A and B are shown apart, each in its own frame.
Chain A
Amino acid sequence: KQEVTQIPAALSVPEGENLVLNCSFTDSAIYNLQWFRQDPGKGLTSLLLIQSSQREQTSGRLNASLDKSSGRSTLYIAASQPGDSATYLCAVSPTTSGTYKYIFGTGTRLKVLA
């Protein structure tokens, strides 16, 4: 059974700091991995999607890497800003799903201090 773990559960950093969020999953048989952002009481917004054949994806100050064989992904946020404060969720789509169902981690709650 696929399980997704995110470390740390919460993180508080001063503005301008570079930071890394970690995600691990137990079964490497995945279609892809997505990183989402969730603001309090809101839905999720997709940040980056990495296909199983890819190693990384970049969007602005965000960079996500994927090491499928070791079951790990990292989300790197450069020059963090207070507006980055949110919960970041990692999710994997198992190859057995067929319909891009996602299994989510419990998230990392990030607070960037001004």
Chain B
Amino acid sequence: SQTIHQWPATLVQPVGSPLSLECTVEGTSNPNLYWYRQAAGRGLQLLFYSVGIGQISSEVPQNLSASRPQDRQFILSSKKLLLSDSGFYLCASSDRPGGHGYTFGSGTRLTVV
């Protein structure tokens, strides 16, 4: 079964600083990968998804970008963080049809100060 590694678990960054969050997946190949954000008091929102290396789709306009340099590596980045980027970021992987095998990482709590 899939295992998702996300790091760091918590991060405090000043406004205007860069960001790089990494997600790696074990136990599968060629999964679909997703970045979600959970803001305080709001539901999970899909930010990006990828169906293969170098293939990134953005769901909402924002200050963030994503990249997939390897099959099981998904990176979320920003050149200059905003206060509104604060939230709980979750990486997810899906490796089976029908929505089965949808696995989430343990998340990164980002606070922009």
Contacts and interface: CB of A to CB of B under 8 A. Distances in A.
Interface of A: 4, 31-32, 34, 36, 41-46, 49, 51, 89, 91, 93, 99-107
B99 A100 contact: yes
Given A34-B102, A43-B105, A99 B43 contact: no
Contacts of B24: none
Nearest to A36: B104
Interface of B: 4, 6, 32, 34, 36, 41-46, 49, 51, 59, 88, 90, 92, 94, 98-100, 102-107, 109
Contacts of A104: 36, 43-45
Given A41-B107, A99-B49, A99-B51, A49 B43 contact: no
Given A4-B43, A101-B59, A104-B44, A46 B102 contact: yes
Given A42-B107, A43-B90, A44-B104, A100 B32 contact: yes
A101 B107 contact: no
A102 B49 contact: no
Given A4-B43, A43-B105, A46-B103, 9 more contacts: A34-B99, A41-B109, A42-B106, A42-B107, A43-B90, A43-B104, A44-B92, A91-B44, A102-B46
A41 B4 CA distance: 16
A41 B87 CA distance: 11
Contacts of A42: 106-107
A32 B49 contact: no
Contacts of B44: 44, 89, 91, 102, 104
A100 B41 CA distance: 24
Contacts of B45: 104
A103 B49 CA distance: 13
B43 A107 contact: yes
A97 to B, nearest CB: 9
A34 B103 CA distance: 12
Nearest to B9: A41
B109 A100 contact: no
A105 B43 contact: yes
